[in-house]
Amino acid sequence: MIVTDSEHRISDICAEWRAEGLSVGFVPTMGAFHRGHLSLVEIAVASSDRVVVSIFVNPMQFGPDEDLDRYPRNLEKDCKSVEELGASVVFTPRTDVVYPDGFSTGVYVAGMSEGLCGAARPGHFDGVTTVCAVLFGIVRPDLAVFGMKDAQQLAVIRRMVSDLRMGIDIVAAPIVREFDGLAMSSRNQYLSVEEREQACFISIGLEMALVLFRMGERNCEVLRNAFLSKLEDAPLLKVQYVETVDPDTMLGVEQVEKQVLLAVAVFAGKTRLIDNILIELEV
Ligand code: AMP
């Protein structure tokens, strides 16, 4: 497996593969891999001939008071684990390679990037879409895999790829969870023992809402309240938002018709955790 920080090397390698008729799968990440990230790589390996994984902690998607400087980094271990899964290249660009002097372009997806995490983290999705547009331009993949854990990110990227006719198949990967249901996240390692113990109430609350739905409840306010009442059992957790939205448009939904995404952001101490569950009528 090749590990490189050179944009030109990556572009050349991918161009050669395309010339040979090989399909290129891409997994953009910020590193510090857990099983959630690795599941994305597995999907990419299973659905394309060659796989590029990028590791880039993107300053543009962090707010001024966020954890950019202390974001976990573990390059050597990350490379080893994706090599074992069959990735062909790891791309580790420096910030001045992604954003060279004079870089002036931003990609902004109106509407759906503004609510939920977009409201809580102003500018966050502009950073995500801009860096993905740059990385897509370098790699020019046939498909790219994103986790459903970041459901709004997935919807925003899909919109960008469709609007800008990027011709990339965006594949959604299911949320990978810890033994007690907590969605895996690089930020889980910030949690104290007590916070970690209580963090499992997030997924339990989401499951409670799903149970209510399966019992026939269709009113989204009732489903949101089911989540909130479960969190009352976890005093270290503070809800930032709990919303019911259409998973494609991120617009609010008040009555479940076909499907609704129950999406939440919760602080455990200073650590912000997100999670969601897709609630849908079985056909
Ligand atoms: P990050 O490194 O946090 O930017 O995440 C890179 C990719 O991994 C994104 O597409 C995330 O949605 C995905 N991801 C992160 N955590 C999980 C998880 N627990 N399950 C599935 N995918 C995940």
| Residues 57-73: tens digit of each pLDDT | 999 999 999 999 999 99
Note the CATH architecture for domain 186-280.
2-Layer Sandwich (3.30)
- Residue 124 Cβ contacting ligand 1 at under 6 Å: no
Q: How far apart are CA 197 and CA 70, in angstroms?
A: 23
Query: CA 207, 211, 214, 220 torsion: positive or negative?
Result: negative
Closest CA to 182 of 223, 149, 215, 219: 149
Q: How far is CA 205 from CA 197, 200, 262, in A?
A: 14, 9, 10
The predicted structure's pLDDT at residue 174: 98
Secondary structure of residue 195 in the 3-state scheme:
helix
Are 18 and 140 in contact, with CB atoms under 8 Å apart?
Answer: yes
| Residues 107-127: tens digit of each pLDDT | 999 999 999 999 999 999 999
Q: Going by CA atoms, what residue is nearest to atom 14 of ligand 1?
A: 147
Are 24 and 142 in contact, with CB atoms under 8 Å apart?
Answer: yes
Q: Going by CA atoms, what residue is nearest to atom 6 of ligand 1?
A: 29
* Closest atom of ligand 1 relative to the 153 alpha carbon: 12
Domain boundaries, the chain: 2-173, 186-280
Determine what percent of the chain is predicted with pLDDT higher than 90: 98
Fold classified for 2-173? Rossmann fold (3.40.50)
pLDDT classification of 282: cutoffs 50, 70, 90: confident
* Closest atom of ligand 1 relative to the 32 alpha carbon: 2
The DSSP code for 31 is S
User: 68 CA distance to ligand 1 centroid (A)?
Assistant: 17
To the query of whether residue 34 is one of the catalytic residues in this protein, the response is no
- Residue 186 Cβ contacting ligand 1 at under 6 Å: yes
Closest CA to 245 of 152, 159, 180: 152
User: What pTM does this model have?
Assistant: 0.97
Closest CA to 136 of 113, 167, 163, 110: 167
Count the neighbouring beta carbons within 10 Å of the beta carbon of residue 101. Answer: 5
User: 30 CA distance to ligand 1 centroid (A)?
Assistant: 9
| Residues 83-104: tens digit of each pLDDT | 999 999 999 999 999 999 999 9
Q: Going by CA atoms, what residue is nearest to atom 17 of ligand 1?
A: 36
**Is pLDDT of 283 > 80?**
no
| Residues 148-185: tens digit of each pLDDT | 999 999 999 999 999 999 999 999 999 999 999 999 99
Q: How far apart are CA 251 and CA 280, in angstroms?
A: 16
The predicted structure's pLDDT at residue 5: 97
Which residue shows structure tokens 């801009």?
A: 130
**Is pLDDT of 276 > 90?**
yes
Are 24 and 50 in contact, with CB atoms under 8 Å apart?
Answer: yes
| Residues 219-250: tens digit of each pLDDT | 999 999 999 999 999 999 999 999 999 999 99
Q: How far apart are CA 244 and CA 261, in angstroms?
A: 6
Question: Half-sphere exposure of 271 toward its Cβ, with a 13 Å CA cutoff?
Answer: 19
